[in-house]
Chains A and B, each alone.
Chain A
Amino acid sequence: MIRSGAVRRPPLLVVLVALVVIALGETAGAAMSQLRGPIQRYAAARVDANRVAHGLSGSAEYDDEIRGQAVFLAEAGLSFFHTHAEGVGLTLFFAATLVASVVPGRRARGVLYGLLTAGGLFPLGYLVYGAGVLEWGRDTGVEFAERYVLTALGSAAIAGLLGLAAALVAARRRG
């Protein structure tokens, strides 16, 4: 049985990362609404600036379709960032609090804080996704974000949570 006691807080750095991720998520939500027009115009301009990457042909109908898809994906990246930042920020907060309160051993806590905090940055992968689509084209941008950011940081989050689960089981066994 886990002994009840004060609910401890994680290190300030972890708390700051959680707060900043939540704040960025909320700000992104506001930006999606209030700055929708400027964001769409910026995205369209980036597509035009990277004509080769997007395969623009000079035909208005075809290019409009390509531009529309890219702008849609960029907006989707921002939307995913908003939703994931809110959720992952909270996950980091609560999971790190559990680590601080329940996991014995400074080194173990340090490893879990590291993994969870890295995982807390996972939503930034969607910003990379959106920007990557605009700068490098749809397929290259999405692949880059998935391979080098989302997979890495998502894996860290999963590893951190699995580690926390293992620590909770171990703590329960110790009684």
Chain B
Amino acid sequence: MTPEPAWRLPPRWVLLVAVVLIGFAEVGGASMARFKVELTRWARDAMLARPEVHGLVGVRDVDERVLDEALVKFDAGLRLFHMHAEGMGLVIVATTTVAATLGGAGRGLMVALLTAGGAGYPLGYLLWSGLIPYYGVEPGKRMAEWLVWIPFGGATILALWWLAGLVALRMARR
């Protein structure tokens, strides 16, 4: 009986990126809990220093809702970074292993796209949170969308379907 062929591991730098990303995710999750008050205070102070950006009118009952929503979104961005970084670290390991083993001639580019896309995408959430106090919720989201989510997310999706297509072709040729 022919034994199952083995997986070929991706390059070490890829595994390092994945592990570091998961590490950042875990540190990020811990920091959100440990420094919750400090982070909220910083974000709130930064927003209050830019009333025209957030549409603050100087009336407590109006401004507190605006600030509350922005702070909830600020927290959501950090949480989404934590979740996506954890997941994308594993996605990088799994998909680059498949690419290294079955990717054929284009495996180098495929591995690069999967690694860069997977590592970059979660940083978009971190960027969004950081931009909220300075630019507001929606402008910050637009920046994160065009600068990070679309390019890096697009790279990952493109590489995944390319890899899936290659594996399907290999199956069909057998």
Q: Please, how many angstroms separate the alpha-carbon atoms of A131 and B107 in the complex?
A: 37
> In the bound complex, do residue A15 and residue B167 qualify as a contact, i.e. CB atoms below 8 Å apart?
yes
Q: Is the interface of B mostly helix, strand, loop or mixed?
A: helix
B-contact 0/1 string along A3-32, CB 8 Å cutoff: 000111111110110111011001101100
Does A86 have its Cβ within 8 Å of any Cβ on chain B? yes
Q: Which residues of A contact B13 (CB under 8 A)?
A: none
Q: Which residues of B contact A94 (CB under 8 A)?
A: 94
> In the bound complex, do residue A100 and residue B160 qualify as a contact, i.e. CB atoms below 8 Å apart?
no
User: With A26-B153, A26-B157 given, is the CB distance from A19 to B6 under 8 Å?
Assistant: no
Q: Please, how many angstroms separate the alpha-carbon atoms of A93 and B91 in the complex?
A: 10
Does A106 have its Cβ within 8 Å of any Cβ on chain B? yes
- List B1-43 residues whose CB lies under 8 Å from chain A: 1, 3-7
B-contact 0/1 string along A26-67, CB 8 Å cutoff: 110110010000000000000000000000000000000000
> In the bound complex, do residue B168 and residue A16 qualify as a contact, i.e. CB atoms below 8 Å apart?
yes
Q: Which residues of B contact A27 (CB under 8 A)?
A: 157, 161
> In the bound complex, do residue B101 and residue A9 qualify as a contact, i.e. CB atoms below 8 Å apart?
yes
- Count A-B pairs with CB separation below 8 Å: 72
Does A117 have its Cβ within 8 Å of any Cβ on chain B? no
User: With A19-B98, A22-B91, A93-B94 given, is the CB distance from A12 to B160 under 8 Å?
Assistant: no
Partner of B95, one of A13, A22, A97, A100: A22
Q: Which residues of B contact A33 (CB under 8 A)?
A: 145, 149
Q: Which residues of B contact A97 (CB under 8 A)?
A: 7
> In the bound complex, do residue B4 and residue A90 qualify as a contact, i.e. CB atoms below 8 Å apart?
no
Q: How large is the interface on A (under 10, 10 to 19, 20 to 34, 35 or more residues)?
A: 20 to 34
A-contact 0/1 string along B77-92, CB 8 Å cutoff: 0000000000100110
Task: Look across to chain B and name the residue whose beta carbon is closest to the beta carbon of A100.
Answer: B4
User: With A7-B6, A8-B6, A93-B94 given, is the CB distance from A22 to B170 under 8 Å?
Assistant: no
Q: Please, how many angstroms separate the alpha-carbon atoms of A20 and B154 in the complex?
A: 16
Q: Please, how many angstroms separate the alpha-carbon atoms of A170 and B75 in the complex?
A: 46
Partner of A7, one of B7, B91, B149: B7
Task: Look across to chain B and name the residue whose beta carbon is closest to the beta carbon of A7.
Answer: B7
Q: Which residues of B contact A90 (CB under 8 A)?
A: 87, 90-91, 94
- List B79-126 residues whose CB lies under 8 Å from chain A: 87, 90-91, 94-95, 98, 101-102
18 contacting pairs across A/B (C-beta < 8 A): A6-B6, A6-B7, A7-B6, A8-B3, A9-B4, A9-B5, A9-B7, A16-B164, A16-B171, A20-B164, A22-B160, A26-B153, A26-B157, A30-B153, A86-B87, A86-B91, A89-B94, A94-B94
User: Known contacts A8-B4, A22-B95, A93-B98; can you find 8 more A-B pairs with CB under 8 A?
Assistant: A15-B98, A16-B167, A22-B160, A26-B153, A26-B157, A30-B153, A100-B4, A106-B1
